[in-house]
Chains A and B, each alone.
Chain A
Amino acid sequence: GAVVSQHPSWVICKSGTSVKIECRSLDFQATTMFWYRQFPKQSLMLMATSNEGSKATYEQGVEKDKFLINHASLTLSTLTVTSAHPEDSSFYICSATPPGEYNEQFFGPGTRLTVL
C-alpha cells in the first residue's frame, strides 16, 4: 500500500515560536493532501486541503495565517504552526490521495505538538 510519512513524530516548543511539520508521500504522487487535527479522545477534524501548486483551502474556523500550508511538490506538503500557543497543542495528521476521485486517502502517522 501507499506510504505517507510525517516529520517530526513529536515536537515540544515554547510559546510564541513556529513549528513546521512535513508530510511526504513516499511511493506515489499526491496532487492533494489533507491536514487534520485530533484532540485527545476526539475525532479527526479537517483543517485544510493542500493542493500542489496552488493555495490551500481552509475549513471554516481555521486561521490560515496561523496554520500556513505549502504544497511545493507532488510528494511534500508542510504545515507551519506560527506563533504557537498552548492551545495549539494537539495531534496533527496528514493524508495524501493519489489522483482520481475514488482513490482512498492514506494517512501519515501523525505529529504530536506540545506547546509549553
Chain B
Amino acid sequence: AQSVSQHNHHVILSEAASLELGCNYSYGGTVNLFWYVQYPGQHLQLLLKYFSGDPLVKGIKGFEAEFIKSKFSFNLRKPSVQWSDTAEYFCATKAAGNKLTFGGGTRVLVKP
C-alpha cells in the first residue's frame, strides 16, 4: 500500500520567512501527489497536484512543489509566508479507486 510521510509536525516561523514542508511517498506505480491545506475551522482545500509533466508545480496562494522522483519527495514551498498561511498542511497520494492516502500533516504557525 502506498504511504506518505511528512517530516515536520509543527513549524513556527515569522512573516516573510520562506517555508518548505517535506513530504516523502512510497513508490506504488503511477504517482499522483497532492498538497492540501486546512485553515482553522475550514475544510480541506487543494493547493496543488502533480500527475505528470513538469516536476515543478505551481499552486494557489503562491505555493509550489517539486516532484523529485529519485528522492521520492514532493516538498511544498513558499518564498515568503504571511500570517494568513497559518494552517495545517497535508501531503497526499492517490491510489487505485481514486483513494487518497494522507500524510500526518504539518501545523504551520506564522507569527505576525
Contact = CB atoms under 8 A, between A and B. Distances in A.
Interface stretch (B14-22, B38-46, B61-69, B76-84): B38-46
B100 interface: yes
Interface of A: 4, 32, 34, 41-46, 49, 57, 93, 95, 97, 101-105, 107-110
B102 interface: yes
Contacts of A4: 43
B90 A32 contact: no
B99 A43 contact: no
Contact of B104 (A34, A43, A104, A107): A43
B91 to A, nearest CB: 10
23 contacts: A32-B98, A42-B104, A42-B105, A43-B90, A43-B102, A43-B104, A44-B44, A44-B90, A46-B100, A46-B101, A49-B97, A49-B99, A57-B97, A93-B44, A97-B98, A102-B32, A104-B34, A104-B46, A105-B100, A107-B36, A107-B43, A109-B43, A110-B43
Contacts, number: 45
Between A43, A103, A107, the greatest number of chain B beta carbons within 10 A of the residue's beta carbon is seen for: A43
Contacts of B43: 4, 93, 107-110
Given A102-B51, A109-B42, A34 B103 contact: no
A43 B9 CA distance: 11
A64 B100 CA distance: 20
Contacts of B103: 43
A63 to B, nearest CB: 19
Contacts of B104: 42-43
A43 B100 contact: no
A44 B103 CA distance: 8
Interface string B70-112: 0000000000000000000010000001111111110100000
